[in-house]
Amino acid sequence: ASRNGSTTQPSRPPRSPRCKPRLRRTDKRSNLQRNMNARTHTGCRSFHPLILSLADPQPASPPSLGPLEPPIASRTCTASPAQDSGTTPCLEQEELATLQSRLQRMRMKPPTQLPPIPAGVGAELRSHLQSLRGLELRLRAKAAGSGTGQPGVTGTEAPVAAEDSSARLPAYQRFHALAQDTPPGLTLPYKYKVLAEMFRSVDTIAGMLFNRAETITFAKVKQGVQDMMRKQFEERHVGQIKAVYPTSYRFRQEKNIPTYSSGVKKSEYQLTLEPMLGEDEQLCGRPHLSASRLLERRKEFHRSLVNIVKQHHTSFLAALSPPMEVPEDKLTRWHPRFNVDEVPDISPAELPRPPQEDRISTAQEVLSAARGTMSTKMEKALANLALRSAEAGAEEPALSKAASPASTSSALKGVSQALLERIRAKEARRLQALMTRAAGQEERLAMLGRLPAMARILRGVFVAEKKPALPMELACVRMADSHPTQMAAGEMEKHLRLLAELLPDWVTIHALRTDTYIKLDKNMDLSLVTERLEKAAKEAEAP
């Protein structure tokens, strides 16, 4: 009992040490969280040093040297009490920046010698690590190859390819004549067409300056031509124009011409051009270069270019076996084996040069100027040098490229030489007839080649209409609709009239009052009709 008279309860007996205290739910959760963090931390520290070395390019120390330090990612795996409460983040900003910079250094770092695989590693893990290393080396080599250029191309092959491409002309120039959609004729090479366009530009600019009474200098013409054509224009092209059309301009070297340019002084000599016109081509008492005269000059320049190509074509025909000779006035197209775009370029004519006083350029001039001022041996040596230079210049022949004689191939061995000569002569006659064929005859041959197919279409039209005669307009419309190529009704009528001219017993044309009718004999065999038409086409092609 207590002092105040209250009864006291008996005290509880002490618990035995074997009895465990009851834990609260919050204590259980905290213990479970600590166990999980400990396991995570232990797992992060249990990585093999070789695996860590793959993430870090520096070699890792073997396990026997000391305790392993977990990587940064492993250190951040452990959860501290502060992390449990959520007061601080799991990964600080500085650590994140460090990781990013380290990853960037690993990507940019060149391939180095990887650490060797420890001997204690198992066979399966060793094979996996070797495959990973091989994959890494291939990726690095691929990245290095894409940065430097295409793999497999050495440095010695590139200059050779560049030199070869620069030596050969582009295909649009080498095969310019083959790419033309115009009917076959006397086409010009690509370089000749460019020169003709340059002459047209020069004539246009020179005409404007000449009609304004301005002095035509090469500097003014050069700038204008380059602006018009977007091509380089040099004095060499002016020399080619003079070689093709000598009477087009009068060239002189003049000075004291205002240039309004800081690059050329007024006292320097400049190349000037002056159109050569007739006395009747005047306007208001002075010569005038009109538009009609410009057109005439352009046509004359084109004719001169064609004549130059004709000369090369004549040389080509003379070098054939057997040689061919075609009059130039009857030539309508080039030989099929004559490559137009391989015609040599035009040699530029010599242009006036500015006068050069007291300038010695040859040994003969040195000898003449220094005669009497030097010893006898020196005069003799200079005389011998001048003589050798003159002989070397005289011995240089102007060689022309000639075609090699036709040699009999191994496939023609045993064939009679007379038969080969007859075949070659026949082929030469056929090609000569092809080159001298007129435009009207060419059109007729093209129509004859289309007649067999048109005969079949015409018979089908009459069978479908079920009439013995049809109006010409209706027949032309039906034929144009059935023909595979687009053709106007007027062109179709020309073919029908030619068909009636060749086969009057099969097709007849009757003009009744204001209408024209075409009549067809449907009982005639169509195969005989086509055979006769093909025979007529072959006879027309024969020389």
Q: How far is CA 253 from CA 33, 269, 274, 281, 500, in A?
A: 103, 6, 11, 25, 70
Three-state SS for 215-242 is CEEHHHHHHHHHHHHCCCCCHHHHHHHH
3-class DSSP assignment, residue 197: helix
Structural tokens at position 131: 């495959």
Nearest to 274 by CA among 221, 350, 327: 221
Cα distance between residue 66 and residue 247, in whole Å: 101
User: φ and ψ at 51, to 5 degrees?
Assistant: -65, -40
Residues (pLDDT < 70) of the chain are: 1-92, 107-122, 143-168, 176-184, 260-264, 266, 357-361, 363-364, 366-367, 369-374, 393-411, 543
CB 275 within 8 A of CB 249: yes
CB 231 within 8 A of CB 266: no
Q: How far is CA 216 from CA 212, 271, 343, in A?
A: 10, 9, 32
Strand ranges of the sheet holding 270-275, from the earlier edge strand across to the other edge = 216-217, 270-275, 249-254
Cα distance between residue 402 and residue 154, in whole Å: 41
Domain boundaries along the sequence of the chain = 28-108, 183-306, 438-541
Structural tokens at position 258: 């205002």
Cα distance between residue 268 and residue 113, in whole Å: 70
Q: Just give the CATH number of 438-541.
A: 1.10.10.1420
Output 257-263 pairs: Cβ under 8 A, ≥24 positions apart.
Answer: 257/215, 257/217, 259/217, 259/219, 261/219
Residue 406 backbone zone (phi > 0: left; psi -120 to 50: alpha; other: beta):
beta
Cα distance between residue 309 and residue 188, in whole Å: 8
0.75 exceeded by pTM: no
Nearest to 519 by CA among 462, 477, 473: 462
CB 233 within 8 A of CB 288: no
- Would you call 171 exposed, middle or buried from its count of C-beta atoms within 10 A (0-12, 13-18, 19+)? exposed
Q: Which residues lie closer than 8 Å to 426 by C-beta, 6 or more apart?
A: none
| CB atoms near residue 197 (< 10 Å) | 15
**Number of residues that make up the chain:** 543
User: φ and ψ at 506, to 5 degrees?
Assistant: -110, -40
